[in-house]
């Protein structure tokens, strides 16, 4: 009897031991799973923070670039306004003011080609042909197809009596733009020379673009040598 009782106790102990081991293993697994989950959550949070930081930097960079572009546009707009002031001063025959205004534009932006064109023609009308031409050439160096600078080069040459050179540059301008005042410039030079045929030819082309050219031609001294011709009178309506 005692032998059976001892065997039963041993068996019971063995079963309980096995159950205890199973429980311990399960608890260990659960603890490991919890630790792994905590690690995964921590890793995920870290990755989210890194991504958020990158997104913030990208947004800041975009914001800075937008601000930079806005500043450039505003600066350009301010220079355009200043250039236009000089442009208007030239047409008001305030040549010295135009010269000073356009110089300020160039100090702010040495590549502002339009300012050189106005500066050059203002210098020419103020009596400085050589420096005026240098400024116009600088404008054309920066932008070879700039019509206004090309026209001004012709106009400056005409102003100082370089008529053949002026005609050449008026025609160059006409290759860039269909500008009535380039046709008019050529016509006025031929008018001085008394070349009735070419005067009528180019003045007609100017009037075809802008009929108001007739009014300018009526009081233009350059046409005095051809003014009495029938064709000229008929063309301008005298």
User: What would the pLDDT profile of 123-140 be if each residue is shown by its tens digit?
Assistant: 999 999 999 999 999 999
User: What would the pLDDT profile of 186-201 be if each residue is shown by its tens digit?
Assistant: 999 999 999 999 999 9
> Across the chain, what does the average pLDDT equal?
86
Q: How confident is the model at residue 164 (pLDDT cuts 50, 70, 90)?
A: very high
Parse the chain into domains and list their residue ranges: 46-138
Predicted local confidence at residue 67, as pLDDT: 62
Q: How confident is the model at residue 48 (pLDDT cuts 50, 70, 90)?
A: confident
> If you classify domain 46-138 with CATH, what class do you get?
mainly alpha
**Count of CB atoms situated within 10 Å of the CB of 232:** 19
Residue 237 · residue 206 · CB < 8 Å: no
């Amino acid at each position: 009897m005692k032998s059976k009782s001892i065997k039963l106790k041993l068996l019971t102990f063995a079963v309980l031991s096995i159950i205890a081991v199973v429980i311990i293993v399960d608890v260990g697994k659960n603890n490991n799973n919890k630790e792994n989950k905590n690690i995964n959550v921590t890793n995920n949070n870290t990755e989210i923070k890194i991504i958020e930081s990158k997104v913030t930097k990208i947004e800041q960079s975009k914001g800075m670039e937008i601000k930079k572009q806005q500043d450039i546009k505003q600066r350009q707009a301010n220079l355009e306004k200043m250039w236009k002031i000089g442009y208007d001063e030239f047409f008001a025959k305030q040549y010295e003011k135009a010269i000073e205004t356009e110089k300020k534009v160039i100090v702010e932006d040495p590549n502002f080609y339009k300012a050189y064109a106005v500066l050059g023609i203002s210098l020419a009308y103020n009596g400085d042909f050589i420096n005026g031409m240098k400024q116009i050439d600088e404008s054309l160096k920066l932008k070879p197809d700039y019509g206004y600078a090309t026209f001004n080069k012709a106009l400056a040459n005409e102003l100082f009596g370089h008529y053949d050179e002026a005609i050449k540059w008026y025609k160059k301008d006409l290759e860039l733009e269909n500008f009535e005042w380039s046709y008019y410039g050529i016509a006025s030079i031929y008018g001085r020379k008394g070349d009735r045929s070419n005067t009528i030819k180019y003045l007609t082309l100017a009037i075809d673009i802008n009929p108001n050219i007739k009014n300018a031609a009526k009081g233009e001294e350059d046409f005095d040598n051809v003014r009495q011709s029938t064709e000229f009178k008929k063309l301008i309506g005298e």
